[in-house]
């Protein structure tokens, strides 16, 4: 039986072209307080969607939100019982919170157990994000994973992390317990988090929500031990891979922890594990990001050019 899909509105008529108006919509109070308001789509065609609510407090758009909306769109095109089990994505250009996002899904393969989708996210006629995701109908088999950290949400260290979640963390109760590294840098991870409000039972929506949190602070916590870079170095996500291992709910406590794997050529690779309170491994994330001093990054006023790669 196909899982119930939520938070999608069908819009009658042909696919809507990208918004090009210069008029900035009014900011909606409370949107960033609740993932249920952010992870919504309008269906503009059989395999096309629009994300209507992406406003932030600082003009730029969080990459985890873009990825989550892409996952939500791809999952809407799957067969009965098929859900995303992995994704590989590239952040191509910096996005802003206006105009809205238009999402195109291409059906690469449709099988009885598996389906593959390619997803492009556009803003103002430019492609800002590209993703391939595989969907699978879960089957019987071994249920095993390597040991993960065991702790409780009550374990909190009051040391303020060097970086902050800002508005992307507003929907969550977050409990940090990282300790300073030898150079004084305080990573964001590990931390416990849970959505402050009850969330939909739809398993696809929960996978999209996991995708949202999978980008929280990973690129900065990939900073290697003893790094010569300043603590306020800017990190930019380049590519992002997630494997979804087991069902989970973001309105229940989840533990995120990140370890640096590699740093070289100005790029840093981080490995993140997301587990639940019982110690089950829920998802694995590997992300590569660009670490640069702030003066070498492209200004936010020209988001269509993204990161200065010169």
pLDDT tens-digit readout, 258-296? 999 999 998 999 999 999 999 999 999 999 999 886 544
Residue 226: count of CB within 10 angstroms of its CB:
9
Summarised one tens digit per residue, pLDDT across range 62-92 is 899 999 999 999 999 999 999 999 999 999 9
Instruction: Give the residue-averaged pLDDT of 114-130.
Output: 96
- % of the chain surpassing 90 pLDDT: 53
Structure tokens at 89: 């994505």
Assess contact for 109 and 116: CB atoms under 8 A. yes
Residues 9, 123: Cα–Cα separation, whole Å: 20
| pLDDT tens per residue across span 176-234 | 888 788 777 888 888 999 999 999 999 999 999 999 999 998 988 888 888 888 777 77
The pLDDT, as a whole number, for residue 193 is 93
CB 213 within 8 A of CB 64: yes
What pLDDT score was predicted for residue 73? 98
Cα–Cα distance measured from residue 32 to residue 55, given in angstroms and rounded to the nearest whole number: 8
In this prediction the pTM is 0.83
Q: Is 33 exposed, middle or buried (0-12, 13-18, 19+ CB in 10 A)?
A: middle
* CB neighbours of residue 34 within 10 Å: 15
Tokens 């994300």 label which residue?
51
Residue 9 is predicted with a pLDDT of: 34
> What is the structure's pLDDT at 160?
74
* CB 129 within 8 Å of CB 67: yes
CA angle 73, 133, 37 (to 5 degrees): 30
Rounded Cα gap, residues 69 and 40, in angstroms: 8
Question: Which domains are assigned to the chain?
Answer: 8-137+151-305 (2.40.160.210)
Task: Provide the H-helix boundaries in the chain.
Answer: 35-38, 63-75, 203-213, 218-221
pLDDT at 256: 94
């Amino acid at each position: 039986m196909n899982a119930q899909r939520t938070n999608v509105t069908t819009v009658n008529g042909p696919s809507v072209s990208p918004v090009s108006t210069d008029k900035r919509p009014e900011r909606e109070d409370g949107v960033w307080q609740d993932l249920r308001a952010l992870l919504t789509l309008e269906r503009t065609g059989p395999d096309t969607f629009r994300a209507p609510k992406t406003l932030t407090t600082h003009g730029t758009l969080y990459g985890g939100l873009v990825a989550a909306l892409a996952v939500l769109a791809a999952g809407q095109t799957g067969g009965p019982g098929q859900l995303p089990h992995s994704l590989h994505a590239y952040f191509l250009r910096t996005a802003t919170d206006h105009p809205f996002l238009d999402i195109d899904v291409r059906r690469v393969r449709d099988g009885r157990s598996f389906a593959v989708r390619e997803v492009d996210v556009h803003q103002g006629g430019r492609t800002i994000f590209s993703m391939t995701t595989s969907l699978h109908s879960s089957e019987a088999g071994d249920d095993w994973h390597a040991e993960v950290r065991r702790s409780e949400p009550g374990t909190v260290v009051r040391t303020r992390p060097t970086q902050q979640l800002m508005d992307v963390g507003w929907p969550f109760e977050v409990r940090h317990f990282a300790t300073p590294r030898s150079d004084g840098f305080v990573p964001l991870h590990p931390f416990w988090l849970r959505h402050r409000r009850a969330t939909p039972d739809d398993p696809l929506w929960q996978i999209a929500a996991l995708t949202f949190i999978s980008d929280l602070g990973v690129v900065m916590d990939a900073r290697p031990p003893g790094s010569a870079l300043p603590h306020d170095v800017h990190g930019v996500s380049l590519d992002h891979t997630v494997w979804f291992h087991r069902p989970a709910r973001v309105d229940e406590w989840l533990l995120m922890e990140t370890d640096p794997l590699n740093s070289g050529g100005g790029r840093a690779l981080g490995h993140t594990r997301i587990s639940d309170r019982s110690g089950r491994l829920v998802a694995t994330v590997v992300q590569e990001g660009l670490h640069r001093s702030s003066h070498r990054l492209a200004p936010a006023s020209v988001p269509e050019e993204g990161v200065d790669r010169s």
